[in-house]
Amino acid sequence: MTTPTLPIYLDYAATAPADARVVEVMQRYLTVDQLFANPASRSHMLGWQAEQVIEQARRQVADAIGADPREIVWTSGATEADNLALIGFMRANRERGLHLITSTIEHKAVVDTAHALEKEGFEVTWLTPGRDGCIQPEQLRDAMRDDTALVSLMAVNNELGSINDIAALAAVAHEFGAAFHTDAAQAVGRIPLDVVAQQIDLMSLSGHKTYGPKGVGALYVRRHPDIRVEALIHGGGHERGMRSGTLPTHQIAGMGEAFALMQQQYDEDNAHIARLQQRFLRGLEGLEGVYANTPLDRAVPNILNLAFEGVDGESLLMALRDVAVSTGSACNSASVDPSYVLLGIGTPRALALSSLRFSFGRFTTEADIDHALTLIRHAVSGLRTPPRQAAD
């Protein structure tokens, strides 16, 4: 068995390394001897060729979610896609109503955007998930109102891995004439996504959670029936007027390639990750007081959020210098407050502060898992040992 490279990277939910095949594609669109032209340049062949690259990537991303390429709007990531979906939709559909429904454990890109909308005069209902991190369709039905314009509920939670039944939730939103948005940044490649079968109106996507580059993402915007979204970034009218700015050909080609590879390797990737998850869980069996915050029967297998009773999460993180993991969402890592997601599903504060999120991916090996387990067992036992009393 090979010795793993340290630190062992178990933070794939924060970001995944780009696949080398993706990087190889990205390198074709930058330098003077390559296809570096502005894809919006209509006056010469180089511009048209760059545009073709963009359109191929648009098809690759659309194919991965069962969409029409014309429904894909490029953004700088899922954060911008979430902003565009929520603010852009609510502003463009004021006559439909000023009410938005979302949940307390959405990614901050949705939570903070919904707060910004509240300041703008929109009204938000915050649904509380169950212990399993999921929102039930009945719960959504009870919250729906005549003036509800949009429902935004994530497909897979980034801290827990819990999976919402987005098709059932979208059906409830539509029953009341509202549109349905889902943040699918963590769902691509983990669960089947089909915007037609699942009746999704707006879907946020990210490049870097799927072995593509950081700094690129997309918003799926349904065309039939036409979903109207007001631009947040003006100038030039790119992307059917919804998002202006020169398109980064290399980033977009990279995301397209990453999504195409994801489709080719979907079964292989998921079988690999499920094996790693089982190995990891089996390896922890001997350790007392370890609880899964992740609802194992309703979650993607690449995210495991675990509480280590009696151990401070921050101290465990420090003790695990050779394992790259996180105490919650990376965006919150500067704060020592317990994760709002764990508190949001009713985890007691002490257990929330004793929790770490482990996440695996395509390049994680069994040797990584075994070595990480040895380090975790050692660190947890060390932190639980009561300090020796000084002899007098």
Interface residue list for ligand PLP (CB under 6 A): 77-79, 107, 109, 154, 158, 183, 185-186, 206, 217
Q: How far apart are the first and last CA of the chain?
A: 49
Selection from 301, 308, 307, 305 nearest residue 277 by Cα:
301
Which residues have C-beta within 8 Å of that of residue 221, sequence separation ≥ 6? 71, 73, 201, 202, 227, 229, 242
**Smallest distance from ligand PLP to CB 95, Å:** 29
Distance, CA of 266 to CA of 268 (rounded, Å): 6
The active-site residue, picked from 23, 46, 287, 331, is 331
Residue 30: count of CB within 10 angstroms of its CB? 13
**Smallest distance from ligand PLP to CB 208, Å:** 6
**Smallest distance from ligand PLP to CB 154, Å:** 6
Please provide residue 374's backbone torsions phi and psi, each rounded to the nearest 5 degrees: -60, -45
**Smallest distance from ligand PLP to CB 100, Å:** 17
Distance, CA of 50 to CA of 250 (rounded, Å): 10
183/257 with CB nearer ligand PLP: 183
Looking at the DSSP bridge assignments, the partners of residue 123 are: 99
Active site (annotated) includes residue 331: yes
Looking at the DSSP bridge assignments, the partners of residue 206 are: 217
158/294 with CB nearer ligand PLP: 158
144/293 with CB nearer ligand PLP: 293
- Across the chain, the runs of DSSP E, i.e. the strands, are 8-9, 72-75, 99-103, 123-127, 148-152, 179-183, 202-206, 217-221, 290-292, 303-308, 323-324, 355-359
39/217 with CB nearer ligand PLP: 217
182/380 with CB nearer ligand PLP: 182
**Smallest distance from ligand PLP to CB 368, Å:** 22
Name the residues annotated as catalytic. Answer: 331
